[in-house]
Amino acid sequence: MKKKTENLVLALFLIFLGYFFGDISVKIKESKKPTLPKEGTATQPDNAKTPFPDLKTLHQDLRKGRVKYVIDGDTIILQNREKVRYIGIDAPERGGCWYETAKRYNQRLVAGQTIQLEKDKSNRDRYQRLLRYVYLEKTNPPQRIFVNLELIKAGLAQAKEYKPDTKYHHLFSEAEKVARQNKLGLWSNQCAP
């Protein structure tokens, strides 16, 4: 029980540091953490059915947009006023446990940033929001962040399979298992501090 409490405190501390000091990565101790390939590669992680896309080769389904406003942990508004709902995840709703933390984490990731948007099968949901996988390219240090996946890995969103848009569901469900095992965020059995 003491070890679980220490892990929870460590996870919350890392999220706190990331929010206030700009380090948005949450370090998770596990051996099979899903990772994105380096730019220009299309390697396939262990247990993956679909490789991560090589953003240089995607043309028709990949668009760029600048984030104007973050609504919550899984929805944003672009400069062109389009609402974008992240595919394959479900973050807490307003008033729920971890809502504010998920929203702030999403803000730290994408607010004011130019992002890349990948379409799956559906274009829009019933509320006319664009349905997309969201990527962020960082230059210092160079890295690609798969935003949908990052929110799950931090324990701030659940993996949700919304058919027919299931291209990366296997990655999302694996990341959720790790977050659950480490009792991060939603899986800590506590509301956010």
pLDDT of residue 77: 97
Task: Report pLDDT digits (tens) over 64-115.
Answer: 999 999 999 999 999 999 999 999 999 999 999 999 999 999 999 999 999 9
| Integer-rounded Cα radius of gyration of the chain | 16
Of the residues 6, 30, 39, 93, only one is catalytic, namely 93
Is 180 catalytic? The answer is no
76 close to 110: Cβ distance less than 8 angstroms: yes
Is 129 catalytic? The answer is yes
Neighbours of 77 (CB within 10 A): 16
Is 104 catalytic? The answer is no
Of the residues 85, 132, 150, 174, only one is catalytic, namely 85
78 in helix, strand or coil? strand
Task: Report pLDDT digits (tens) over 165-177.
Answer: 999 999 999 999 9
Domains of the chain in start order, with CATH, are 2-188 (2.40.50.90)
Share of the chain above pLDDT 90, in %: 61
What distance in Å separates the CA atoms of residue 74 and residue 179, rounded to the nearest whole number? Answer: 17
What is the band of 2 on the pLDDT scale with cuts at 50, 70, 90?
Answer: low
Half-sphere exposure of 147 (CA within 13 A, CB side): 34
Q: Higher pLDDT residue, 49 or 134?
A: 134
Of the residues 63, 108, 129, 144, only one is catalytic, namely 129
Whether the model clears a pTM of 0.75, i.e. scores above it, the answer is: no
What distance in Å separates the CA atoms of residue 158 and residue 179, rounded to the nearest whole number? Answer: 10
The length of the chain in residues reads 193
Task: Report pLDDT digits (tens) over 28-78.
Answer: 333 333 333 333 333 333 443 444 444 444 444 568 999 999 999 999 999
